[in-house]
């Protein structure tokens, strides 16, 4: 079939793609969610199932998505449609692209809230609003943030606008340039978090909570959570 004539989106280099993929995998979701579900569903036992799900299901799906992206070179909708047209398959297969975009929108709907919490805490920290705050008081701060629709909506709106600006600039000028400084910032934050955890006390208990092998706590629900988090980690089926 003849080409549509539209320019195909490309990364400037592999490094930019690798940074974006790494940021997607080792992002806010894993920092925020992974420790909790790991400790709840069996620690080391959960980690083993999680890694098995990544290798057996996640990696093959990810390689398939990358292959579609390399072949279609466009948004999920355009890439799937282009591959379907070139292969002569039913146009109904193009619905997969729309489903991926819908899934991405649903993920964004809660990500902007969680990222908004992070921005709110960052602002309070920079302005001294969290100085001397105890663990119990932090719970009250969290509750107050969620009870205030202006605060919650304001920070979530800011995250949405920043996301729109970056994505609106395209792959090269938006996503690729932004991850070039966001990823070093994420690495620095992880190093600071690990350092703080090691020297603030209770580091051994935290490691035991996360990685001690508790097979009895690994239920069928935990296995499903491991599979779901494998998809979440690799940002699969979400555009």
Q: Is the dihedral of CA 227, 29, 14, 73 positive or negative?
A: positive
Structural domain contains residue 98: yes
Over the stretch 154-174, which tens digit does the pLDDT of each residue have? 999 999 999 899 888 877 788
In 3D space, the residue among 108, 126, 110, 120 whose CA is nearest the CA of residue 152 turns out to be 120
Q: Give the list of residues 6+ apart from residue 13 with CB closer than 8 angstroms, or none.
A: none
Bridge partners of 213, per DSSP, are 43
Structural domain contains residue 141: no
Over the stretch 34-86, which tens digit does the pLDDT of each residue have? 888 888 898 889 999 999 998 998 888 888 888 887 787 777 888 888 888 88
Structural domain contains residue 1: no
Domain range for 29 is: 14-103+169-233
pTM of the predicted model as reported, rounded to 2 decimal places? 0.73
Structural domain contains residue 121: no
Over the stretch 72-118, which tens digit does the pLDDT of each residue have? 777 788 888 888 888 888 888 888 888 888 888 888 888 899 889 98
For the chain, how many structural domains are there in total?
1
Structural domain contains residue 181: yes
Structural domain contains residue 135: no
The answer to whether 7 touches 166, Cβ cutoff 8 Å, is no
Structural domain contains residue 216: yes
Tokens of 125: 């920290």
Structural domain contains residue 159: no
């Amino acid at each position: 079939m003849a080409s549509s004539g539209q320019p195909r989106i490309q990364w400037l280099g592999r490094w930019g793609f690798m940074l974006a993929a790494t940021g997607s995998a080792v992002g806010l979701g894993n920092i925020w969610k992974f420790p909790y579900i790991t400790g709840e569903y069996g620690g080391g036992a959960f980690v083993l199932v999680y890694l098995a799900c990544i290798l057996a299901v996640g990696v093959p799906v990810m390689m398939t998505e990358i292959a579609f992206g390399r072949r279609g070179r466009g948004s999920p909708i355009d890439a799937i449609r282009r591959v379907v047209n070139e292969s002569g398959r039913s146009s109904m297969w193009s619905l997969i692209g729309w489903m991926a975009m819908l899934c991405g929108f649903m993920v964004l709907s809660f990500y902007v809230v969680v990222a908004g919490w992070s921005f709110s805490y960052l602002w309070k920290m920079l302005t001294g609003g969290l100085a001397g705050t105890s663990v119990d008081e932090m719970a009250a701060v969290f509750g107050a943030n969620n009870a205030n629709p202006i605060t919650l909506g304001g920070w979530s709106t800011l995250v949405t606008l920043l996301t729109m600006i970056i994505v609106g600039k395209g792959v090269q000028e938006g996503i690729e340039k932004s991850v070039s400084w966001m990823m070093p910032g994420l690495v620095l934050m992880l190093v600071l978090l690990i350092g703080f955890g090691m020297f603030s006390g209770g580091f051994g208990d935290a490691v035991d909570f996360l990685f001690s092998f508790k097979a009895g706590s690994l239920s069928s629900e935990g296995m499903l959570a491991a599979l779901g988090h494998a998809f979440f980690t690799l940002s699969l089926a979400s555009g």
